[in-house]
Amino acid sequence: MRIFITGGTGFVGSHLIRYLASNNHQVRCLARSTPTFQPYRTNIEYHSGDITDKASLVASLAGCDAIIHLVGIIRAFPQRNITFERLHVEATRNIIEAAEQAGISRYLHMSANGACETADGNYLTSKWHAEQLARHSRLEWTIFRPSLIYGSGGEFTHMLSQQVRLLPIIPIIGNGQYQLSPVYITDVVTGFANALSTPSSIHNTYHCCGPDQCSYDELIDLFATALGRKKPTKLHQPLSLMRRITHYLERFPAYPVTSEQISMLTNGNVCDPRIWSHDLHITPTALEEGIKKTLTG
């Protein structure tokens, strides 16, 4: 199968490209400019185009059998025209319209756990609006709503591992008891790949979480154990204080977190993965095992 991927240079995209190519799919990746390097496999190719420019997409889709749309951002920078509306909603509209024009019907869409019209913040509401574009299209869509994804190359994974390695005391926003069900990157990409050959996944929305639930504090301890360290000392920052500080400092790109990200983190990120894992023939990786594979494999 020839598969067109947007967002192929990101964390999930890079893993998915390798997985699909190693399973004998022909993978075509959207790139803002054609890379000067040669792909490491002959069944991977790059086409120049811009997800915010529909006209540049149609020619890139020629000959493809399916689309996997992964483009997304976790933080907006309006001063640089990097917004949730543009990169989530408008980009999704562009790729759907281009798919319909190119005669491609199969479409897999990356959303986020918690996407909702009434969610607290533009990230999750923009994800919900993008989902609606898929649902109201003529395409044979499947929507994936992953929770926190961890694995090699992930920014969150790198941040936690560096904190455990380098800091004598780890700062924690709030009480650290908010619950998470992190999902291993290999399980996420396996789900995307298996959906391509699973007709029953068409017009379904899947919540993708790991099989284990833990608090943020416990997650840090799991990282420490995997790295052969003792459980680190944690300094819990009052949530009300962090919200006030962030309200004033988040306008600066160097400040590492936004008010919206604090809300999403402290609201927790859990779901039931049973339907996703059953329908797409996945055995979700245990959290402790996945962290060990990531940090020591």
Give me 210's structure tokens: 């790991």
Tens digits of residue pLDDT in 153-199: 999 999 999 999 999 999 999 999 999 999 999 999 999 999 999 99
> Which residues, 6 or more positions from 68, have their beta carbon under 8 angstroms from its beta carbon?
3, 4, 5, 6, 16, 108, 110, 192
Tens digits of residue pLDDT in 234-264: 999 999 999 999 999 999 999 999 999 999 9
Q: What is the mean pLDDT of residues 48-62?
A: 90
When pLDDT is cut at 50, 70 and 90, the band that residue 41 belongs to is confident
Give the bridge partners for 179, in sequence order: 215
Q: Where in the chain is the domain with CATH 3.40.50.720?
A: 2-146
Q: Nearest to residue 112, comparing CAs of 78, 138, 148, 87?
A: 148
pLDDT over threshold 70, residue 37: no
Q: What is the pLDDT of residue 34?
A: 62
When pLDDT is cut at 50, 70 and 90, the band that residue 59 belongs to is confident
The Cα-based distances of 58 to 62, 88, 94 in angstroms read 7, 19, 10
Give me 182's structure tokens: 């992190």
Q: Where in the chain is the domain with CATH 3.90.25.10?
A: 150-181+210-270+285-297
Q: What is the mean pLDDT of residues 72-92?
A: 96
| One-letter amino acid of 74 | I
When pLDDT is cut at 50, 70 and 90, the band that residue 140 belongs to is very high
- Give the global pTM: 0.96
CATH fold label, 150-181+210-270+285-297: UDP-galactose 4-epimerase; domain 1 (3.90.25)
When pLDDT is cut at 50, 70 and 90, the band that residue 296 belongs to is confident
Write down the CATH number for the domain with range 2-146. 3.40.50.720
